Amino acid sequence: MKKLMAVMLLAMLVLSACGTGTGNGDKNSNEKVLKMGTSADYKPFEYVDSAKSEDIIGFDIDLANALGEKLGYKIQVKDMDFSGLISALQAKQVDLVLAGMSATEERKKNVDFSDVYYSAKDLVITKKDSGIKSIEDLKGKTVGVQLGSIQEDSAKEIAKTVKVKVENRDRIPELLQEIKAGRFDAAIIEDVVAQGYLKKDNSLTSVEAPQPEDSAGSAIAFPKNSKLTEEFNAELKKMKENGEIDKLVVKWFGN
C-alpha cells in the first residue's frame, strides 16, 4: 500500500511539473514566457541605472512589457552584445529582440521585423576642441561605431566621400571611452542616445551624420515566420493609434 501511494504521489508531482513549465510562448503552459534579447548600453532605449538598481530599464523595456501584458506574455529580458542579437534569435536563445534595432534589408534576410515603432537620426560625437565641425573634417580621422549597428552603415556612407578609419566596439560606453582616451577622434551614435552623453559631458559636441539609405527606423525582431510578428504588430498598431507610444516617447526621450 505504501509503495502504491508513493508511486501515485510521484505521478502527481510529475504531472504538476509538466503543467507549470514556461518558455517560448507555449500557450499550453500556465504562464507564457518570452525571452527578449537586448543590449543594455543604449540609454534611453535600454540601460541599467546602477545607482538605483541592477534592473534593465528604458523605452524598449516599457514597450516590451506593455505589449507582453496585452498579449498575455511575461517578458524575460536577457542582456547581450548587440552584435550577437540576430544570431541569438536564429539559435532560438531568445524569442524576440528589442534593442533600438533598425529593420535594414540586410537584417531582413535573417529575421522578420515588426512595423517601425520609432525613427531617429545619427550624430557624430566628438570633443569640442577636436576641430571637427563638419563631415569633411573627419578626413584622416578614426571614427568609432558599435559592432553590428546601423551606424556602421553611416560610417560607410561617410567613407564614400571622406577618407576615414572606422573601428568598432561592442558597447556604446566603450566608444566614448576611446574618444576620451584619444584613440578615436569621433563616434557615430543615434541621436536620442547621444543626447544623454552630450548633456552629461560639456566637453563633447556633435555634428549631424548622413543617414544610410536603408535606415528604416527601430523595430522588433523575430525569428523567420514567427507567429509573434503578427500578434505584436496588431497591438503595436493600437498603441500608436491610442497615443501609448507617444506617451513612452515623452517619458524617455522628453519630446
- The stretch 11-22 carries a mean pLDDT of 40
What is the distance between the alpha carbons of residues 80 and 78, in angstroms, rounded to a whole number? 7
Residue 131 lies in a domain: yes
Domains contained in the chain, number: 2
Strand partners, 208: 123
pLDDT category at 153 given cuts 50, 70, 90 is confident
What's the N-to-C CA distance of the chain in angstroms? Answer: 71
Answer yes or no: do 234 and 143 share one domain: no
Cα(44)–Cα(100) distance, integer angstroms:
10
Residue 5, helix vs strand vs coil: helix
C-alpha cell at 140: 584622416
- Check pLDDT > 60 for residue 60: yes
List, in sequence order, the alpha helices (H) in 105-225. 105-108, 151-159, 172-181, 191-200
- Say whether both 164 and 244 belong to one domain: no
Q: Is residue 8 part of a domain?
A: no
Helical (H) or strand (E) element with 79: strand 73-79
- If asked whether residues 175 and 129 sit together in one domain, one would say yes
CATH code assigned at 35: 3.40.190.10
- Residue 101's contacts (CB-CB under 8 Å, 6 or more residues apart) are 82, 85, 107, 218, 219, 221
Picking from 147-161, 188-202, 209-223, which range would have the lowest pLDDT averaged per residue? 209-223
Same domain, 108 and 185: no
Q: Does residue 228 share a domain with residue 109?
A: yes
Find the length of the chain: 255
pLDDT score, position 119: 86
The DSSP letter of residue 34 is: E
pLDDT score, position 39: 97
Domain boundary, last residue among 171, 188, 208: 208
pLDDT over 80 (residue 15): no
Residues 144 and 201 in one domain: yes
152 and 190 belong to one structural domain: yes
Q: How confident is the model at residue 255 (pLDDT cuts 50, 70, 90)?
A: low
Residue 7 counted as domain residue: no
236 phi, psi to nearest 5 deg: -65, -40
Mean pLDDT of the chain: 87
Does residue 11 surpass a pLDDT of 70?
Answer: no
Q: Closest Cα to residue 191, out of 145, 125, 115, 104?
A: 125
55 lies in the same domain as 89: yes
Q: Helix (H, G, I), strand (E, B), or coil: what is residue 52?
A: coil
Q: In sequence order, what E strands does 80-203 have?
A: 96-97, 112-113, 122-127, 142-146, 165-169, 186-190
Instruction: Point out which residues pair with 42 in neighbouring strands.
Output: 46
Do both 68 and 183 map to the same domain?
no
Q: Across-strand partners of 206?
A: 125
113 and 130 share one domain: no
Cell of 254: 522628453
Averaged pLDDT, 75-84: 96
Asked if the structure places residue 4 within a domain, the reply is no
Q: In this structure, is residue 6 part of a structural domain?
A: no
Domain assignment of residue 3, yes or no? no
What residues make up the domain containing 130?
Answer: 122-208
CA distances from 145 to 7, 130, 162, 247 (A): 60, 18, 16, 30
Angstrom distance (rounded) from CA 222 to CA 97: 7
| Per-residue confidence band for 156, with pLDDT thresholds at 50, 70 and 90 | confident
Q: Could you tell me if residue 55 is inside a domain?
A: yes
Judge whether 5 lies within some domain.
Answer: no
Whether residue 110 contacts residue 163, with contact meaning beta carbons closer than 8 Å, is answered with no
Tell me, yes or no, whether 110 and 139 share the same domain: no
Specify the DSSP class assigned to residue 209.
P
**Pair (112, 30) in one structural domain:** yes
What pLDDT sits at residue 64? 98
